[in-house]
Structure 1
C-alpha cells in the first residue's frame, strides 16, 4: 500500500521528549503534524532525571509542568566530596523571577508519558513501530523539501511522504541526520559509565545530589521521587555494554562511597558510553535537527533533555507561524538561537565531567581547593546554578529579535529605563481588571502564545486604550489570532475602568501594575512590546509606531485602514477570546 501525503505536511521523526515537545507546540498553535517513532510505544526506562527551570518554564507553556511537579522530587542542592570530606556545595532554590527556583528530579519515562498524554489531549497521535527507512532531499524550487519512505516495523505497509518540513528528533544515532549528510562533530570519553536505580541501605542523601570524587573514579548519588536512589559510576572500558550486575555496583559503592552504604535491590541497571558531540548545522533546507540528534552531552548537570525540550518549543512555534503565513526567514533564527545554547550546555557538562575524572596528584588538590573557595565566596551558586538552569538566554543577535524600533527608526528613545530586547521578560506583579485572572507577567505568558503589551505609567484609558484596541483589531486579521494575546498594563486605575472589569466592549486584557517596573519604561507616552511565546522580548516601540511593531509579529499584518479607524473600545467591540483567560491563576 502506498500513500502520498501533501507537500505541506510537517513530519516529526522521534517521539521522545524533544519530538513530543515540538508536536505539542505545533498543535497548541493550531498546526497539525505527524509524529512517527520506530519504538513500539513510550519509553519505560528512566534515563535522564533532572528538569531545570528553563525547561520547566517551557513545559509550563505546553501545559504539563503541574503534572510533572506532582510526580517529582524537588532537589535542595548538590555537594562534592573528596578524601572523605565535603569540599564544595551548591544550594538550589534561590533563583529569582521564576516559578521554578529549584530543579526537579523526574525520570524521563514520566516526562515522556506526561507529554504523550498532552499530545493525545491536543488531538495528536504517534505512529509507533514506524521508522524512516529512506530519505532524500529535493532540490530547491519544489513545494516539498524532503522525500521520506516510512515503513511499519511489522511490515504491513510502506508510505511515501514528501513533507515540506521534517524534524529529526530521533536521537544521537539519528538516521535522518546521516541521510542528509550533516556531520556530528566531537568525541567520546574513554570511560564506560554504569548506573543502578534501586534501594540502598545506609544514610544516603534525601534531597540533594552527591558527587564523591575518588582515586577510583566518581560516584554520583541522586535521590529518586517515591523512594530509592540512582548510583552512577565511571570505569575503564571492558569491551561490552551489558548492564552491570548488582555485585559490581556494590563493589564500586564500597570503593567510592561512605562506609555502611549497601545495595538492597535494583529495578533498572545500564552501561553506556558518553559522547560529547554537536551537529555541524541544525538545518539543511526543510530538515531540522533537534535534541540528541543535534547535540549529545555528558549526563553531568542534566543538560541533554533540558536543551532538547527547549529546541522543540523554539522550533515548534516558529514552524507554526510560518505554516500560517509568516515569512519563512523566521526559521533562519532556529540555528542562530539554539546551536549556541547547545554549545554552552555541552561545554558546561564537559567541564564538570573532566573535574570528576581527576584522580590524583596536584590537579586533584587544586580542584578541591577551588571548589572550597568557590563555595565559601558564593561564586559556585551565582555562576553554576544559572548556567545549569538555562533560564537567561541572550538572543540579542538573533534575526528574530528586531529590538528597539524607536532607535532603529531614528526616533529619540525616551530617557530612563528601557526593556531588554533579546532577553527573557522579567516578572512583575499586577492587579487584573479584565480579560485575565493572572496576577503576574510570567503567569500571563505561561499560556505560550505571542503577546502584545501596551504599557503606560498613567491610567488604562485614552491613548493607551486606543492603541490596545487598534492592536487587537489588526490581530484579528491574523491566521494565528487565537495565539496572540493583547494586554494593557497601567500604572494606576482610571475613571474608565469599572470595579471588577473594564468598560463594556473591551476584549483585550487590562491590569494595573502593583509596583512600578514595566510602567517605568513609559514615563511620558505608552510603550508597546512584542513578547515571543518563549517569553523573550523581541521588539518594542512607542505607541505611535504600533503599525511598524506589528510587522515584526509573525503572521500579523497591520490594519491597512486609516489611523483614526475607531477608538480602542470600538476596535475591540467584536467578540474575541479574553487574552490569557485560558489559564487559571498565574497561568498554572
Structure 2
C-alpha cells in the first residue's frame, strides 16, 4: 500500500482542493479526480468571509487571494427607492480578515490549484467516477481505522485508456457537488427543498453610478436586485423571478429590463462577460459520513447564494476533514473521524438557516409584511443590532465546537461527570476557566515577542501555519516551565502527529540569564499577558493543546503530561510508547 492509495478525493473545486492541500501539508499524499477538463473559468461564488480566509491562510493561499480581491465595506438594503438599513464590514475584532473579500470562485480555485501543485499534488482532469462499491462500512470503527484492508472499490473512467480503471482507496471524499455520485453510491439522503423561483445573474460593465465599495440589496414587490462590485472593475447583478423552467442564460436585454424595473433610475447594462440562470436549493445530507466515505461542500449541503455561505462552509469542511484524516492515517485514534460530522453538520445547518432566512426576506410580497421588514431593518441598523448579529454569523469565525467529542477540555478529568474544572497543586478545585479556554472555542489573538524558534509576532501568526500546537504557559518558576516545555516537546515527538506539531513556551518576561537556544521548542514572551495571567493562579505551567483550526482542544496544569496526551486522540499514541 502506498500513501497515494489511501485517500481519493472526487471533485477539484474549492472544497476538494482545500482537503487535498491540507492532507499534503500534513504529510499525506492523495489522489484527486475531476470530470471537468481543467480548472473552472466561471466566476460563480464571489464572497470569502473571515472564517474561510483564516482556513485559506493555514494552507498559504490567503495572501494571493487578497491581492486579487476587492474588500467590501458593507451592505445596504433598499425598499421603495429608499435606504432602509445596512451593515458595516471591517469591525470584526481578533482576526486578520475584518472585511469579507470579493473574489470570483474561478480565482479561488486557480490559487488553490497552484498551491496543490507546489505541494507536489495534482488533479487528474477529465476523469470521472464511473462506479462505486462500498463494503463493511462499520470497519471504520476498527482499531486500525479501516486501513488494514480497503472497503471501497471504485471504477474510474479515464480518457485515452480504452477501458475503465479499477481502484481501491481506503478513504473516499465526495466533494463532487450537489449531484454527488459519491453521496448517491453511499446511499445518503439529501434532504430539503427548492425555491419556486428562477435566479438570474450577469457579470459585466454597467453605467449609471452603481456602488463601488458595498453590496446593495434592492427589495421590491416583484423581486430582489442584488448588486456586488467586482475586483478589477465591473459588477454582478442578481435577480429572482417566477419559475419558468427556462434554463438558457438571460440576455443583456433581459437583465436590462429587470435592472430598470428594480434599480435606481439610469442604471444601464453596457456589456456582460458571464450570465447564468439557475434554481436554488436548500438541502443537507442526512449524514456526512458512511464508514470510509465522507461528504464535504456542496455534496453535503447546498444553500441560497444569500450571504455567500456555500463556498465558505465547504472550505472549512475540507480543512476540518483533511487534518483529521491525516492524523488518523499517521496513527491517531480513528474515533477522531467521528467528530467530522459532529462539528461540520451543525455548522452547515447554521449557514443554511442563515442564507434561507435572508432569501425569504428578499421574497416578501405582502404589503404589511414588507412594511414590518423595512421597519425592523431600520431599527436594527440604528441600534447596531445588524452589525452585532448578522456580520459574525456570516463571517463564521466562531467554530461552535463546545459539544464536539474531539475537544475534551480540562484534563485530567477530576470529576466523574466530566466538568471542565481542574485540580491544583493543593488538591482544591479552581473556578471554571474563562471563555478563552472553553473547549472548542477559537483562541483569541495575543501579541508576543519571539525569542527563539519562531518569528511570529503574535499567537494567531504562530497558529497560521495550520499545524497542531502545544502551548506551555509559564506559571511558577522558570525552571519548572522549561522542564515542562521539554517534556511537552518529547511527548509531541512521540505522537502520531509529531512532524506536524509545534511546541512553544510562553513566559511573562524575557529571561535575565538567557535561554537554551538548542531547546526542542520555541520560546516567546506573552506581551499581551492573556495566557500567562491564567497560569499565575496555578503556580505551575499550563499546557494547552490547540488544534490546527486554532480551537482549544484540551488543557492541563497537572504535572503528568501523559494524562493530557491520553485524552487527546492525536497525541494518545505517545503514551503507549512509554507505557
Partner of 1:530: 545
Counterpart of 1:126 (choices 106, 116, 123) is: 123
Using a 3 Å threshold, how does the CA distance of structure 1 residues 532 and 292 change in structure 2: closer, same or farther? same
Alpha-carbon distance in 2 for matches of 1:186, 1:70: 37
Partner of 2:495: 478
Partner of 2:247: 241
Partner of 2:209: 203
Q: Does 1:60 align with 2:63?
A: no
Partner of 1:290: 296
Q: Does 1:78 align with 2:65?
A: no
For residues 311-390 of structure 1, the aligned pairs below 5 Å read 311-390=317-396
CA contact (8 A) 1:46 1:107 kept: yes
Alpha-carbon distance in 2 for matches of 1:218, 1:332: 41
Alpha-carbon distance in 1 for matches of 2:4, 2:448: 46
Following superposition, the deviation at residue 191 of structure 1 comes to 0.2
Alpha-carbon distance in 1 for matches of 2:377, 2:42: 33
Alpha-carbon distance in 1 for matches of 2:520, 2:86: 50
Give the TM-score normalised by structure 1.
0.92
Counterpart of 1:439 (choices 439, 457, 462) is: 457
Q: Report the more deviating stretch, 507-516 or 146-155.
A: 146-155
Partner of 1:507: 520
Q: Does 1:220 align with 2:220?
A: no
Counterpart of 1:110 (choices 104, 107, 122) is: 107
Following superposition, the deviation at residue 198 of structure 1 comes to 0.2
Following superposition, the deviation at residue 155 of structure 1 comes to 5.6
Q: Does 1:449 align with 2:467?
A: yes
Q: Report the more deviating stretch, 511-520 or 124-133.
A: 511-520
Following superposition, the deviation at residue 355 of structure 1 comes to 0.2
Cα deviation digits, residues 420-465 of structure 1 (max 9, x gap): 2110011100111111011111000000000000012467x31111
Q: Report the more deviating stretch, 399-408 or 12-21.
A: 399-408
Partner of 1:545: 560
Following superposition, the deviation at residue 7 of structure 1 comes to 9.8
Cα deviation digits, residues 195-248 of structure 1 (max 9, x gap): 000000011111100000001210000000000000000011122210000000
Cα deviation digits, residues 80-128 of structure 1 (max 9, x gap): 0000100000000000000001100000000000000000000000000
Superposition RMSD in Å: 1.8
Alpha-carbon distance in 1 for matches of 2:413, 2:388: 33
Counterpart of 2:511 (choices 488, 494, 497) is: 494
Counterpart of 1:43 (choices 40, 43, 50) is: 40
The total of aligned residue pairs comes to: 555
Following superposition, the deviation at residue 153 of structure 1 comes to 4.3
CA contact (8 A) 1:11 1:167 kept: yes
Structure 2, gaps ≥5 residues long = 140-147, 416-421
Structure 1, gaps ≥5 residues long = 564-588
SS of the equivalent of 2:281 reads: strand
Alpha-carbon distance in 2 for matches of 1:560, 1:234: 59
Following superposition, the deviation at residue 416 of structure 1 comes to 7.5
Cα deviation digits, residues 343-370 of structure 1 (max 9, x gap): 0000000000000001231000000000
Using a 3 Å threshold, how does the CA distance of structure 1 residues 433 and 413 change in structure 2: closer, same or farther? farther
Counterpart of 2:264 (choices 258, 269, 291) is: 258
CA contact (8 A) 1:406 1:413 kept: no
Give the TM-score normalised by structure 2.
0.93
Alpha-carbon distance in 2 for matches of 1:155, 1:314: 35
CA contact (8 A) 2:406 2:569 kept: no
SS of the equivalent of 1:522 reads: helix
Using a 3 Å threshold, how does the CA distance of structure 1 residues 365 and 249 change in structure 2: closer, same or farther? same
Following superposition, the deviation at residue 507 of structure 1 comes to 2.7
Alpha-carbon distance in 1 for matches of 2:449, 2:476: 15
Alpha-carbon distance in 2 for matches of 1:39, 1:28: 25
Cα deviation digits, residues 170-190 of structure 1 (max 9, x gap): 000001101111010001000
Q: Does 1:231 align with 2:237?
A: yes
Following superposition, the deviation at residue 401 of structure 1 comes to 0.5
CA contact (8 A) 1:474 1:557 kept: no
Alpha-carbon distance in 2 for matches of 1:458, 1:548: 20
